[in-house]
Structure formats: structure tokens, C-alpha cells
């Protein structure tokens, strides 16, 4: 579970590390960490226990969105990569092939 004091806002490009359990060919459970990197397009239920973020990325020309509950126990780490200057709370217009480039600053 990630601390919710982390201020996640729409327009941030984040990398979310999540633990994944898999079964190998022998039937043994293996655990690995997989990350999903993309831009936050929505944050819902800000400080509540059931708060979620919607993260969108382009994978080989296809848009992929995942909704992450922030209290998910399998999330190990959330890294903030970039912050874009946006004037909206929900960035659903990015789904429709928004042509302009957002002004981004890289976080160190």
C-alpha cells in the first residue's frame, strides 16, 4: 500500500510498480514486479479510502488505460516522472487524439 500523502494530479506521468503473482509450468507461484507507465487522466474520490487514478499510455499505437485504487496492497511504489501544465481536472480529451503537445517538466 502506498502512502496517500503523495500528491497525484492529472497531467502527471507516473510509473506504478505492482506485484504480480504467476504460476510457472510446474504449478509453483512466482512473484514479480511489473510497472505501468503513463499519464494520469483522472483522479476520483480524492482523500477517501476508495480513491482511484486512471492512467493512460500508448502501446504500439493503441491507447491502454488502467484504473488503480490507491489503497491496493499490491502497489509497491509510484514514481513521478514528468508533470504537465494542465487546466482541467479530467483529461478525457486526450482519448480523442489531442494533437497539441502538453508543456511538460521532468521531475528529478
Domain assignment present for residue 4? The answer is no
4/89 Cα distance (integer angstroms):
18
Full residue range of the structural domain in which residue 87 is found: 12-98
Domain assignment present for residue 19? The answer is yes
- Averaged over successive runs of 10 residues, the pLDDT of the chain (108 residues) comes to 69 95 89 94 92 94 93 94 92 86 85
> Would you state the pLDDT for residue 101?
81
77/85 Cα distance (integer angstroms):
24
Number of compact structural domains in the chain: 1
- Burial classification of residue 82, based on how many CB atoms lie within 10 Å of its CB (0-12 exposed, 13-18 middle, 19 or more buried): middle
Task: Select from 65, 69, 76 the least CA-distant residue to 17.
Answer: 76
pTM equals 0.83
For residue 84, the domain's CATH number is: 2.30.30.790
> Would you state the pLDDT for residue 4?
46
Residue with cell 502527471: 12
Amino acid at each position: 500500500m502506498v502512502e496517500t500523502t503523495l500528491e497525484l494530479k492529472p497531467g502527471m506521468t507516473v510509473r506504478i510498480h505492482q506485484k504480480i503473482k504467476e504460476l510457472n509450468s510446474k504449478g509453483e507461484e512466482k512473484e514479480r514486479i511489473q510497472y505501468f507507465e503513463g499519464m494520469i487522466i483522472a483522479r476520483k474520490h480524492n482523500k477517501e479510502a476508495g480513491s482511484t487514478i486512471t492512467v493512460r499510455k500508448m502501446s504500439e499505437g493503441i491507447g491502454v488505460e488502467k484504473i488503480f485504487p490507491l489503497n491496493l496492497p499490491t502497489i509497491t511504489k509510484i514514481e513521478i516522472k514528468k508533470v504537465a501544465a494542465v487546466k482541467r481536472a479530467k483529461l478525457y480529451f486526450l482519448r480523442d487524439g489531442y494533437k497539441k503537445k502538453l508543456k511538460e517538466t521532468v521531475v528529478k
